[in-house]
Chains A and B, each alone.
Chain A
Amino acid sequence: MKQIFVRPELCMGCRSCEIGCAVQHSKDKTLFSAVLQSPPPSPRLFVESAEDIKMPVICRHCEEAPCLNGCISGCLYRDEKGFVRRKKERCIGCWSCMMLCPFGVITRDKEKRIAVKCDRCHKLDLPACVNACPTGALQLVDLDEVPKEIRSRTVLSGARAYRP
């Protein structure tokens, strides 16, 4: 299965991915109408930066997804492609998923009072964030085809989050 692969060393922090994501999740899916939409559409991934690194932080659609496992209302589910998605009408705004997501990529729609998260642009061949990225920091790849050293480098840096 193809997955979104993040390469922090290629990210220049331009936030094109955030704009691409927000536009894709706006009413008319065009930049011009998206900027006029009220409230403005929100992205589901976030470019974050620390001293020596920038990168988009995005939903991993975790195999053991804390958000999905902790959802108390039956809103979150895993679709046939393996993506963790919402049945919006079942969200009650308890924010359990927000409390449990270790990546901080679930947000609140404060108007509708429901949780908002990445749907992996399940209707598109290429997710909007990947499509918008000008540097290749976000790529849609078959992970088996990524050279091992590149993969382990990223995995290792990601895994540091959990090392005591």
Chain B
Amino acid sequence: MRHVIIGGSIAGISAAKAIRQSDPSAEVTVLSGEKARPYYRPMIPFLIRKGDIDITFEGDLEKRYGFAVAYEKAAGIDVAKKEVRLESGRNISYDRLLIATGSRAVVPAIPGIRGEAVFTLRTAQDARSIGKSAEKARSAVVLGGGLVGIKTAIALRKAGLGVTIVEKLDCILPGKFDRRGSEIISNIVEREGIRVLAGMSIVEAVRAEGELRGVRLSSGDTLDAGMLIVAAGTRPDLDAVKDTGIRTQTGIVIDENLRTSVPDIYAAGDVVEYTDLVFGRPAVSALWTNAEEMGRLAGRNMAGGKAKYEGFLSVLNSSEIFDVPVMAIGLVEPDPLSREYESLVEDNVDSYRKLVFKGSVLVGAVFINDVENAGIYTNLIRSRMPIGGLKEEAIKGSLRYINFIRTVPEQTMSA
């Protein structure tokens, strides 16, 4: 069986591993559009300050798992002939195909945004370019207050630049943290010298003779900036599936076995649109952990398995913001008008915990500077196990694994 995987990041690599583990005779080719050994993409903000740290997958993937990575970009798919067209002009045939092309940065149409000193952060190369430019710049504006924007801002601040985050919505981390959590994180980054302007947009990247001088804001004010980093979100990279008939909405639509609407073609990772376990509706994930899981299951199914994918949590973030651990999992900010949800909050001087319940089922959690045992909560959210009687322990943080274990009376055991 000949498997081809378009995309050399985590979804593609974990699929390739899974295929080879399920079927050691399978022939697997991974096509990577990036001319770089597969690497841990979430690590790229660290490359801004230290361009030479090693973030690649260790070891020889080919030797260890028996698949080859071809550094070629796919230009299209001929579904009838079961061939992938490469940009080099070559065609490569497949029995089973995985689309794991990931996502790309969204760049809003703003006058002056095209040109030098404007960056997005999606690849290791992007990060190194930002780092290089930061050596000469004194100040930077980051458009977008999501996690990528914040991590970029932190790296640039640590590199000594004056940094301003401009977020269109009225708080940073919109959709990813609850309002109070966002406020706390905002305070942390501002305390460290990053300016946060929420509820503001950039209407122009101001240039003089082509050179970036700053940005003009919706308020009318102008900010000086030698660099502009656009971190305004991502969208699935659907270029490869153009004219294939593969069903897409925001991303590629898959069934519970991670198959697309076209036979023998699977999809996994950021490019996919699938059920969010707590929102109960389709979402795109853009998260490493989810992409790894989707790739692994898709690979297993491509090799003949029948793994069923239940869905992901599109909010599943853990990070450290200037030495403060922060986590958000699941549904963190329920509609205040809805009576379906109950939020329990412990808002202390140096820590913050919030749990969101739907009846007796935990559906969301936010932890700031008190993150011990967080995995127990993540697992409760994923498994949707009712924990009605343990809400008090849960918000106090005394919930443990043992709370879910009961000794089994002897007579219920079958010999």
Interface residues of A (CB under 8 A from B): 8-9, 46, 48-50, 52-55, 57, 64, 66-67, 69-70, 72-74, 77, 92-108, 113, 149, 152-153, 156-158, 160-164
How many B residues touch A, CB cutoff 8 Å? Answer: 45
A50 and B403 in contact (CB under 8 A), knowing A73-B40, A95-B325, A163-B385? Answer: yes
Closest chain B CB from A5 CB (angstroms): 15
Give B179-210 interface residues, CB cut-off 8 Å to A: none
Residues of B within 8 Å of A57, CB to CB, are: 400-402
Residues of B within 8 Å of A66, CB to CB, are: 375
Residues of A within 8 Å of B372, CB to CB, are: 98, 104, 107-108
B289 touches A100 (CB 8 A): yes
A99 touches B402 (CB 8 A): no
A99 touches B327 (CB 8 A): yes
Kindly report which residue of chain B lies nearest to residue A159, judged by CB atoms: B405
A53 touches B316 (CB 8 A): no
A106 to B56, CA, bound (A): 24
A164 touches B293 (CB 8 A): no
B406 touches A95 (CB 8 A): no
B250 on the A face (CB < 8 A): no
B329 touches A99 (CB 8 A): yes
The 3 nearest A-B residue pairs measured at CB: A102-B379, A101-B375, A161-B404
A163 to B378, CA, bound (A): 15
Residues of A within 8 Å of B178, CB to CB, are: none
A52 touches B55 (CB 8 A): no
A52 to B409, CA, bound (A): 12
A147 to B319, CA, bound (A): 44
B266 on the A face (CB < 8 A): no
Please name 6 pairs of A and B residues whose Cβ atoms are closer than 8 Å in the assembled complex, sorted by A: A52-B407, A53-B406, A70-B288, A102-B375, A104-B374, A160-B405
B325 touches A96 (CB 8 A): no
A92 and B292 in contact (CB under 8 A), knowing A48-B401, A99-B318, A157-B407? Answer: no
Kindly report which residue of chain A lies nearest to residue B325, judged by CB atoms: A95
A28 to B202, CA, bound (A): 58
Residues of A within 8 Å of B374, CB to CB, are: 95, 98-99, 104
Residues of B within 8 Å of A103, CB to CB, are: 375-376, 401
Given A74-B57, A99-B375, A157-B406, 17 new contacts (CB under 8 A): A8-B405, A8-B407, A46-B400, A53-B405, A66-B375, A73-B55, A92-B46, A98-B371, A99-B327, A100-B378, A104-B372, A104-B374, A105-B401, A108-B371, A153-B408, A153-B413, A164-B384
A121 to B375, CA, bound (A): 23
B289 touches A95 (CB 8 A): no
A162 and B383 in contact (CB under 8 A), knowing A8-B407, A156-B408, A156-B413? Answer: yes
Closest chain B CB from A116 CB (angstroms): 11
Main secondary structure of the interface of A (DSSP, over half): mixed
B239 on the A face (CB < 8 A): no
Main secondary structure of the interface of B (DSSP, over half): mixed
Residues of B within 8 Å of A46, CB to CB, are: 400
Closest chain A CB from B36 CB (angstroms): 15
B383 touches A164 (CB 8 A): yes
A69 touches B415 (CB 8 A): no
A117 to B176, CA, bound (A): 28
Kindly report which residue of chain B lies nearest to residue A48, judged by CB atoms: B402
Residue from the list B55, B319, B404, B406 in contact with A74, Cβ < 8 A: B55
Per-residue CB contact flags for chain B residues 282-316 toward chain A (1 = under 8 Å, else 0) read 00000011001100100000000000000000001
A92 to B289, CA, bound (A): 16
Residue from the list A52, A70, A72, A95 in contact with B43, Cβ < 8 A: A72
Closest chain B CB from A87 CB (angstroms): 8
B347 on the A face (CB < 8 A): no
B323 on the A face (CB < 8 A): yes
Closest chain A CB from B11 CB (angstroms): 12
Residue from the list B40, B43, B373 in contact with A104, Cβ < 8 A: B373
B388 on the A face (CB < 8 A): no
Residues of B within 8 Å of A108, CB to CB, are: 325, 371-372
B359 on the A face (CB < 8 A): no
A49 to B375, CA, bound (A): 18
Residues of A within 8 Å of B406, CB to CB, are: 52-53, 157, 160
Closest chain A CB from B176 CB (angstroms): 14
B296 touches A69 (CB 8 A): yes
Closest chain A CB from B153 CB (angstroms): 17
Give B239-284 interface residues, CB cut-off 8 Å to A: none
Residues of A within 8 Å of B383, CB to CB, are: 162, 164
A74 to B327, CA, bound (A): 20
Kindly report which residue of chain B lies nearest to residue A101, judged by CB atoms: B375
Give B351-375 interface residues, CB cut-off 8 Å to A: 371-375
Residues of A within 8 Å of B316, CB to CB, are: 99
Give B31-76 interface residues, CB cut-off 8 Å to A: 40, 42-43, 46, 55-58
